[in-house]
Chains A and B, each alone.
Chain A
Amino acid sequence: KAGVTQTPRYLIKTRGQQVTLSCSPISGHRSVSWYQQTPGQGLQFLFEYFSETQRNKGNFPGRFSGRQFSNSRSEMNVSTLELGDSALYLCASSWSTVVETQYFGPGTRLLVL
């Protein structure tokens, strides 16, 4: 069974631009969560989607947004990029709302110049 895939894997942008990251969950998984990982702040929860609905959101500004499609694929968007948005963005999927392991994708490494 294929794992969680994320595209692109690496991205370089400049301040003020916007970026869209994509995540395809494991087949059959309906929950997709996004996390930001930086050396300073560690791993922080961004948001979680289940059946195309955002169920939970972390403490990030409104520049960070996301959505989930009917096939459970998810995208996250960051508008008006800032230098501090440089990070590894990880997507994780799981079956449903039931407590279980989240499976993480390889991540998208974003560098903002």
Chain B
Amino acid sequence: ELKVEQNPLFLSMQEGKNYTIYCNYSTTSDRLYWYRQDPGKSLESLFVLLSNGAVKQEGRLMASLDTKARLSTLHITAAVHDLSATYFCAVDRGAQKLVFGQGTRLTINP
């Protein structure tokens, strides 16, 4: 059974700081997704990582994938308050079935 684990689950940080969210998964997969969810809202797609070594960046967020280590990271650079949200990674088990991590609730304080 595929398991996807994120850490940390809760992260409180100050504006301007850098930090990394980790996503480990238990079985081989070449496809990993990152989503953002604001309170009471739906999921917003951030990144799709489709191969080993893939790196994608959008603004202050950068995601990478190491399929050999079964690890993805979401790096936040010079955090701003608007990035406060819950971040989920998800691994594709085929036929559009995603297995999600528990989510990382990120709070960025001024």
A residues near B (Cβ < 8 Å) are 31, 33, 35, 42-45, 48, 50, 55-56, 58, 90, 92, 94, 97, 99-107
Contacts and interface: CB of A to CB of B under 8 A. Distances in A.
**Chain A's interface: helix, strand, loop or mixed, by majority?**
strand
Nearest to B88: A43
A103 B46 CA distance: 11
Interface string B74-110: 0000000000000010101011111111110000000
Given A43-B88, A90-B43, A107-B42, A100 B48 contact: yes
Interface in B36-57: 41-45, 48, 50
A94 B42 contact: no
B96 A102 contact: yes
Interface residues of B, number: 23
Contact of A31 (B41, B94, B96, B100): B96
B95 A102 contact: no
What 8 A-B pairs have minimum CB-CB distances, sorted nearest first?
Answer: A43-B100, A104-B43, A56-B95, A104-B42, A101-B45, A55-B95, A56-B97, A106-B42
A103 B48 CA distance: 12
Nearest to B33: A101
A44 B102 CA distance: 10
Contacts of A55: 95-96
A94 B97 contact: no
B92 A99 contact: yes
